[in-house]
Each structure stands twice: as C-alpha cells, then as structure tokens.
Structure 1
Amino acid sequence: MSDSPSPLADPHLVFDPVSSTDGAGPRDIVILGSTGSIGTQAIDLVLRNPDRFRVTALSAAGGRVGLLAEQARQLRVRAVAVAREDAVPALREALRGQYAAGEPLPEILAGPDAATELAAAGPSECHTVLNGITGSIGLAPTLAALEAGRTLALANKESLIVGGPLVKAVAKPGQIIPVDSEHAALFQALAAGTRADVRKLVVTASGGPFRGRTKADLAHVTPEDALAHPTWAMGPVITVNSATLVNKGLEVIEAHLLYDIPFDRIEVVVHPQSYVHSMVEFTDGSTLAQATPPDMRGPIAIGIGWPERVPDAAPAFDWTKASSWEFFPLDNDAFPSVGLARHVGELAGTAPAVFNAANEECVDAFLKGALPFNGIMETVTRTVQEHEEHGGPVTGAPGTSLTVSDVLEAETWARARARELAAKTTAEARA
C-alpha cells in the first residue's frame, strides 16, 4: 500500500455515541442526479430523517422535470439544476404546478456546468455533496465538490475511474466516502484492523442475469434479457454493466484507487444472493464480510451520514429464517471485462477513460439493438488495444501528469472509435 494519505474518511474513526448534529441542526446536502436510482433512494432516506438531513439543492439531466419539481417542493430546496437548457421552460412550469400561488420558486441553473456549480459554492452552501450522476460527466462535479471543501459521498464511480489521479490530487484525507455497495462494505470492514493488517480485498459480484452461461450462450441475448437483473434495481447503463461485469471491473479499479491496494491483492468472487457486499481478508487469516439484504439505502446512509449510523436506513436480515449463501469463482472467459479493467488500471493515465468511454458507447449501441451482447466487450477490447498500440495518449501514466484535457481528448477519441468499430461489427454480422 502507498504511504500517501487516503482520500477516504478514516474507517478506524471511533464512533461517538452522542450525535454530532445535536444542537447543530440537520446536515445540509446537495444531491446530484436526484431523479436517478441513487438520488430517489437518497431522498427517501432524507424524508424519513428530517432531523438529520436537509437537502439544499438538486440536479438532474432534465428528462424528468415533473419528478424534479416534485422533489424540489417536498424538500423545499433553494436551487435546482438541469443539464439540458431546453428543459428549463418545462421545469419552470412544473415548479409552478407544485408550489402555491405567490410562493417563491427555487433558483434554476441550466447547462452542462450547472451540476458543477451546485457542487462548488453555487447558490447553496452544504456540508456534503452526494454525486449520483451516471457516467464520466460526473468528473467535473466531483472535482468541484472536493475543491470547495465539501465532503463527497461518491456514487459516481466513473469520475474516479477516468480521473483517478486528478481526484486524488485534490481530495484531502477523509474527504471521500464511497457509496457503491461494494466500497461502502470495504470501508466498514476495514474498521476491524489497521491498513498494515490487510492482506486482500474481496469484491463480490452477483453474476448478473447471465451467471453460469458460456460465451457462446451469450451470443444472442437481448437488451430485455440483460436488463432483468436478479437482485438489484438500477438504471439501464449500470444494469447492462452488471450483465457484462464491466461494473465489477470498474469497481476493482476504484478499490485500487480508494484503498491503495495493488491489483494483485484485489479479488472478485461471484455471490448470487448479493447479501455479502464485499470482504476484507487480514494477515492473520480472518476475513470480515459486510452483509445486508440488497438495498442501496444502507450505503447511501453511510455516505451522507458518516460517522453516524442512520437507524433503520435499510432492512436487516431475519435470522429466524433459513437462507443459503453461495460463492463461485469468476468465469473470465465468458466475462473478460474484469481482466481488461485490471489491465487498463495498471496502464493508468488515460487508459481507464478510454475503457469507460468505449463501454458507454457500446452499451448505448447494444440497448438500441445495434450491437450484439458479446460485441460490447469485443469492441471495448479493440478500442483499448488501439489506444495502447498506436501511442494513443496514455498520458498521465506513472511519472507524468494527467489533466482534464487529456481525459476529455482520450474520451472523445474512444467514443468515436468505438462507434466506428461497433458499426463495422454490425455491418459484418448482417452481411
């Protein structure tokens, strides 16, 4: 492990039985991606705990302005932001429909930088920014929140994947709290020992809807098949990433960046029930697992409430009922995404950004019926190989500096090349 300070809040922090919010009022929070899966579950948690949390601002892409307006009214936020400027008239009308006549409406911010403005100083001060945006567009808000001194509850793994060195350069020790169920689990399990005691991290995977199938079996699966996740309810991109196990590959890179553990000490194991969210193996042979029924409100509560536990944030197990917990090795032939993710993680620089951007393009093509399921990883692999072989800017590799421009340039190239390769694959299949 590196001797550099971890950007994570210290999991060895001793819990104070006296609430740190006593006499100070609720903790102010900004929620980015409020109409998505993470955002809606966070709002449910906030509404059930008004003495602990107060949301001051919300951001969303702009496709569900009715829901955004309803959230704004329920939470009485000071500001709302939408990435799509053309959504502002509909949002303003929806807000008028939610608020009483003469009641002041929240300030509206719009445009691609609106969420970033909220994450920084913006019109609404806060203690914690929950970044629940999907995709690498979450990088700028992540950096803005950290630079503004906010605590960052990070559900947007892509911003750490594509801009890991940038994020770690600006994050102060203890400033990031992970919200992914796997990393929230590791975060809690690490509290059982010192960092020197850690032998390995074990990241669990449900296996998605295609667990047990061979690569040949996956040749003709449909988007509907891929979206039928057996244990988690998530957005379409994350659900497809779970079906390909790209999501798990991204989490391996994220664990490496957050915990400074080498890739050869981070394992992936398939656990279909999704009860154990991840494990830490210590040098004395002990393994500690963090387990709850599959429900993202638990990790969200850790993210926005740490160092306190939020009572009844999520359901607990009923230990009076019998249950079976299974664990299986990963099938790297059927699901090569984890191995490829390790490779790009070790390359560092812009390689993870290329991997992530190419995958986003391929998932989009698959959902539109323009690319077969196996074509996702085949196209991502070819894009990564071309980036590496042709000197595609692996800028920011160890010993060099990475910039936001490097990341954006690499992503732009990767998206364009992945689209070209995906179109070629489709054309060849139809010929």
Structure 2
Amino acid sequence: MTTPRDLVLLGSTGSIGTQAIDIVRRNPDRFRVVALGAGGGNVELLAAQALELGVEAVGVAKASAAQDLQLAFYAEASRRGWSSGDFKLPKIVAGPDAMTELAQWPCDVVLNGVVGSLGLAPTLAALRAGRTLALANKESLVAGGPLVKAAVTRPGQIVPVDSEHSALAQCLRGGARGEVRRLVVTASGGPFRGRRRDELTQVTPEQALAHPTWNMGPVVTINSATMVNKALEVIEAHELFDVPYADITVMVHPQSVIHSMVEFADGSTLAQASPPDMRLPIALGIGWPDRVPDAAAAVDWTTAHTWEFAPLDDEAFPAVALAKAAGEAGRCRPAIYNAANEECVAAFVAGRLPFLGIVDTLRRVLDDAPDFAEPGTVEDVLAAESWARAHAQEIIVASPSASSSVSAASSASASVEGA
C-alpha cells in the first residue's frame, strides 16, 4: 500500500478548495491534507475543514480573523460533541504572509486556489521550496510569468488545474514537444456567443452574469462574457507550455465537453473530453501523473451527442487578440492587462462603464503604459498593477459614456451585489 500524498490546500473555503476536499474525503488512501489556508471570510467553514481533516496548520490572510478562527474551532468542536481536551488546535498563521508561509509547509503538493495576484507570492514560495505545485491561480502566470518560470526547480513541477490547461497537459502526453504544431483552447462563448459588436452596446451586468454553462464568481463570469477569461488562459498556456502566441488558437465550443486540443505536426489532433466538472482537473492536479478513479463522471457514450465548434469573432470579442499582443510585448503588459481589467469589471458592475468599455479601456491602458522592464521581483509586478489600476480609473472617470451606463445597469445592481 502506497503512502498518502501530503497536501497543502490554499483557498480551501473557495470553489477549488471545497472540491479538492471532496476528492480527498473520497480517497483517504491517496491523499492527506496537512495544512489549509484561506482569506478569512468564512472561519466557520475553515475550522470545520481543519478539524475534519486533522491538519497541522491553518492560515488566514486577514490578520484580524485569527481570533475569530480560534473561537470557531471551539464552536465546531462543541458542535461535534468534543470536550476541550479531545482535540489539538492546529498552528494558526495569520496575516498577509500566511499563504506564503503555508506554501513552504512540509508536503508533497501545494494546491494554490488563491484568487487574484495575491496568489503569486505563494506560488513562488512553493516552487522555491521544491514542492509540486497544482496551480489553479492563473494570475500567478499571467502577472508574474517570468518570475514563476525562474523559480521552477525541476521539470514538471507545475501541474495546471484550470480545465483547459489540464486538458492540454493530458493531450501533450500523446507526442513529443517538438511535434506540437498548435494548441487549441476551447471557450464556451459565454452568454453572448454569436452576437456582433453592435449587438453588445446595451448589455447589462445581469445579462453578463447569466453564464449558460459554468457556475462561477461575478468577476470570472463577466470575464467569460467579454472573453477576457479566455485571453488570460491564452497567456497562461503560453507560459506553461512554451508555445508561441501565434500557435495558440481559441475555438468556441458551447457544450464545454472538449476542454482543449493539441494539433501535432503530422496533422492529427488530440482532444480531452469530459462533462463540465472541475473535480477532474483538480484530481489530476493533486495526483499527477496518476489518475484518480471516479474523480468525476465520464461522457455518457450510450446517448447521442452534438458538439459545435466555431472560430472566435475577434471583431466582436477583441480581448484575446489584445492579450496576445500584450504577452508578446512582455515588460509587465500581461500584469497591466489583468489589473486594469479588474478595475473595468468593477466599474461595469457599478454602472460606471458600458460593457464594450471594458475591453476598449483595456486597450487604452495598454497603449498608454510606460516602458516597464521585465519583472524581477513581486514588487515589480505590484508596481505595474498599481499603475494600471490608477490609470484605468482615470480613463473610466473621464469616459463620456460613464454616466449614461448607470441607468442601463441600475436594474441589475441588486442581483450583482448579491452574486
């Protein structure tokens, strides 16, 4: 019998983390969680996870949540009918460096499910400590690609967890890297698939949040509607697999069953197919290179299926082409792209920017960007992001369409705020 693989789960109370724990729960002979980290917004769930799994350490990024977490431990123990002497409190790490400290905790695999650029420092810490990194934090590679690649200590140390990049990694097993002609990243197309640019002028936040396939947070859902999410995935694919941007293609596939494909030099294409379920790429991420039996349901081959594919309309959805140009330019442009987009999405949700203004503003920010150097430190990335956020805000405030977009978004504001 093999020894269980020790895991550190960062972002354990989020979607990626809770699904990872579900996989661990069903496979105790394969995995053991030794540490958990989260932002600190749901200490009750974090305490319940820690006591159930018997972890050694728990971290919260919000320092003020440490005392609340300790109280949550006692409340959860009481709910389980335990007296104070029946359990041992794990070590509590709190503050902005908590995730970075846990990323170096003795283990086999670190699953980084932290949201946003805050995931970059833990990514670098895990790699430098020699851990295998199951990476679900795309901002690490988008904002800090050169830093991340420089921190890798051995081949195969990063295992992608995004469904598209997990699919590419699986397909790449089918041939040598020198035989790869093209990566084909699939996209659901979001709620506005098939619309022309002139049909997107009156889009409201409520409409943009109505994704037809995936249940995601507001920012990622709106990024899917603008195709920015796919644009970020193209940058990530370039950084992960060292394939030129010119050889990465996006295809719209609304059924979201083919998660991505690899075209080889002989003309063959390998595709990875499975029903939309993040537990499969998560299981592969923490178990790589081995597969975890029954991690998720398979395609039902006893019924008929119709799968559609169409090229991306770059005129209606220019975000991918813009991201490729930013990636090719380097010098912190991908970090600027990502940070400015977050500001634009927030402005759209608040009714201060029209839907088409999101990517239009991104283009202006990139056009105005000073000549940053390639990032050498996390601080370099943060400085570029800070400039991008400030400049995006300047453009948004000065936009003549900002006030007119308020009324178009006001009817949806209640539903967005509750999303």
Q: Could you state the TM-score of these two structures normalised by the residue count of structure 2?
A: 0.92
1:363 to 317, 328, 345: 345
Residues 165-209 of structure 1, C-alpha deviation per residue, up to 9 Å, x if partnerless?
111111021110011111110101011111111111100000011
Letter in 2 for 1:115: M
2:316 to 334, 337, 361: 334
1:418 to 389, 392, 395: 392
Residues 271-326 of structure 1, C-alpha deviation per residue, up to 9 Å, x if partnerless?
00000000001111111000100001110111000111100001101111111000
Cα deviation for residue 75 of structure 1 reads 1.4
SS in 2 for 1:219: coil
Equivalent in the alignment of 1:226: 208
Letter in 2 for 1:306: W
Letter in 2 for 1:287: T
SS in 2 for 1:308: coil
Query: 2:55 matched to 1:74?
Result: no
8 Å CA contact 1:96, 1:105 repeated in 2: no
Letter in 1 for 2:34: T
| CA distance in structure 2 between the aligned counterparts of 1:369 and 1:63, rounded to whole angstroms | 26
Letter in 2 for 1:395: A
Once the two structures are superposed, the pairs formed by residues 306-321 of structure 1 within 5 Å of their partners are 306-321=288-303
Equivalent in the alignment of 2:29: 51
Equivalent in the alignment of 2:7: 29
Cα deviation for residue 428 of structure 1 reads 4.7
Structure 1 pair 221–184 and aligned structure 2 pair: CA distance change class (3 A): same
| CA distance in structure 1 between the aligned counterparts of 2:124 and 2:134, rounded to whole angstroms | 12
Cα deviation for residue 120 of structure 1 reads 1.4
Query: 2:63 matched to 1:63?
Result: no
| CA distance in structure 2 between the aligned counterparts of 1:50 and 1:27, rounded to whole angstroms | 10
Structure 1 pair 247–96 and aligned structure 2 pair: CA distance change class (3 A): same
Equivalent in the alignment of 1:145: 126
Equivalent in the alignment of 2:98: 114
Equivalent in the alignment of 2:411: none
Unaligned runs of 5+ in 2: 406-419
Cα deviation for residue 427 of structure 1 reads 6.6
Once the two structures are superposed, the pairs formed by residues 204-223 of structure 1 within 5 Å of their partners are 204-223=186-205
Once the two structures are superposed, the pairs formed by residues 254-269 of structure 1 within 5 Å of their partners are 254-269=236-251
Structure 1 pair 426–40 and aligned structure 2 pair: CA distance change class (3 A): farther
Equivalent in the alignment of 2:410: none
Equivalent in the alignment of 2:147: 166
1:182 to 151, 159, 164: 164
| CA distance in structure 2 between the aligned counterparts of 1:319 and 1:283, rounded to whole angstroms | 29
Residues 64-116 of structure 1, C-alpha deviation per residue, up to 9 Å, x if partnerless?
22221221122121211111122223222222111222122222111111101
| CA distance in structure 1 between the aligned counterparts of 2:344 and 2:240, rounded to whole angstroms | 27
8 Å CA contact 2:354, 2:402 repeated in 1: no
Structure 1 pair 427–43 and aligned structure 2 pair: CA distance change class (3 A): same
SS in 1 for 2:27: coil
SS in 1 for 2:201: helix
Equivalent in the alignment of 2:116: 135
Cα deviation for residue 426 of structure 1 reads 6.7
Percent identity among equivalent residues? 63
Letter in 1 for 2:390: A
Structure 1 pair 403–219 and aligned structure 2 pair: CA distance change class (3 A): same
Letter in 2 for 1:48: R
8 Å CA contact 1:393, 1:410 repeated in 2: no
SS in 2 for 1:72: helix
Cα deviation for residue 62 of structure 1 reads 1.4
8 Å CA contact 1:370, 1:426 repeated in 2: no
Residues 138-167 of structure 1, C-alpha deviation per residue, up to 9 Å, x if partnerless?
100000000001000001111111111111
8 Å CA contact 1:116, 1:141 repeated in 2: yes
Query: 2:403 matched to 1:429?
Result: yes
Cα deviation for residue 225 of structure 1 reads 1.9
Unaligned runs of 5+ in 1: 1-21
